[in-house]
């Protein structure tokens, strides 16, 4: 994680990701993400920003492997608006004009936290609903299909901060690490993925 200060408005950036001298960053305590050109690290240039309606807390995002799509998780929209788990998929083809391509609604009202992509699979830490795994190979057709899940918090799938907080699917072994707020560390592996 990188922390950068923005002098205008005295806000701070959190969760900065650089890809090919371009940067996307969430501004702490706001409901938007910004895109910067960081070719010159001492003089970042604003390109554009993304916002969306019914924003609770624009928490975390991850790029598709082709870097065309940005998968955004809002940590508080389920709590504030009573929605099912939502992932906002933005199209970044034109960095000057990124747009919301579609919203994927999950099967529960559990709060989403961190999501990551590996081999056309989107791994979503979904608090009380465990980890949810989606096939995103048809994302250009606005399609995400849930292909697996592992629930570590069996009491419910409600809007609580219990269960899976983070997921790490990047091991060569295909082991998947889950960090559960209540029960600790889980190591899982699918024979189908």
Domain of 59, in residue numbers: 45-188
- Rounded Cα distance between 115 and 61, Å, is 7
- Residue 69 token pair: 């799509």
Instruction: Reduce the DSSP state of residue 140 to 3 states and report it.
Output: helix
H or E segment to which residue 81 belongs: helix 77-81
Q: Is the pLDDT of residue 7 over 80?
A: no
**Cβ distance 111 to 59 under 8 Å?**
no
> Is there a domain that residue 109 lies in?
yes
Q: Is 11 a domain residue?
A: no
Q: Which residue has the higher pLDDT, 7 or 102?
A: 102
Assigned domain for 162 exists: yes
Flag whether 1 is in a domain.
no
Contact yes or no for 88/72 (Cβ under 8 A): yes
Q: Which of 161, 142, 140, 162 is nearest to 153 (CA)?
A: 162
20 part of a folded domain: no
- State the number of CA atoms in the 13 A half-sphere of 1 facing the CB: 10
Judge contact between 44 and 38, C-beta under 8 A: yes
The answer to whether position 114 is within a domain reads yes
pLDDT of res. 47: 84
d(CA 77, CA 58): 9
- Residue 148 near residue 192 (C-beta atoms within 8 A): yes
39-73 pLDDT tens trace:
777 887 888 888 888 888 877 888 899 989 999 99
Total domain count, the chain: 1
157 domain residue, yes or no: yes
CATH number, domain at 111?
A: 2.130.10.10
Inform me whether the pLDDT recorded for 17 exceeds 80.
no
The reported pLDDT for the residue numbered 4 is 39
Q: How confident is the model at residue 120 (pLDDT cuts 50, 70, 90)?
A: very high
- Is 32 a domain residue? no
Q: What is the DSSP string of 69-100?
A: EEEEEESSHHHHH-PPPEEEEEE-SSTTS-EE
Q: What average pLDDT is seen over the chain? A: 84
Residue 100: its H or E element: strand 99-105
């Amino acid at each position: 994680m990188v922390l950068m200060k923005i002098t205008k408005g005295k806000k701070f950036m959190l969760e900065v990701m650089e890809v090919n001298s371009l940067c996307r960053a969430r501004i702490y305590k706001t409901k938007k993400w910004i895109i910067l050109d960081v070719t010159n690290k001492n003089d970042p240039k604003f390109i554009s920003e993304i916002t969306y309606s019914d924003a609770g807390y624009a928490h975390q995002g991850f790029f598709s492997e082709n870097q065309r799509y940005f998968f955004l998780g809002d940590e508080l929209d389920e709590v504030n608006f009573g929605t099912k788990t939502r992932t906002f998929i933005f199209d970044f083809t034109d960095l000057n004009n990124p747009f919301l391509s579609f919203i994927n609604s999950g099967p529960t009202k559990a709060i989403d936290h961190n999501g990551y992509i590996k081999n056309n699979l989107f791994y979503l830490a979904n608090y009380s609903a465990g980890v949810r795994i989606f096939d995103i190979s048809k994302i250009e057709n606005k399609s995400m299909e849930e292909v697996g899940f592992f629930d570590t918090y069996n009491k419910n799938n409600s809007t609580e901060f219990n269960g899976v907080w983070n997921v790490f699917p990047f091991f060569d072994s295909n082991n998947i690490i889950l960090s559960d707020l209540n029960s600790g560390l889980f190591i899982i592996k699918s024979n189908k993925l």
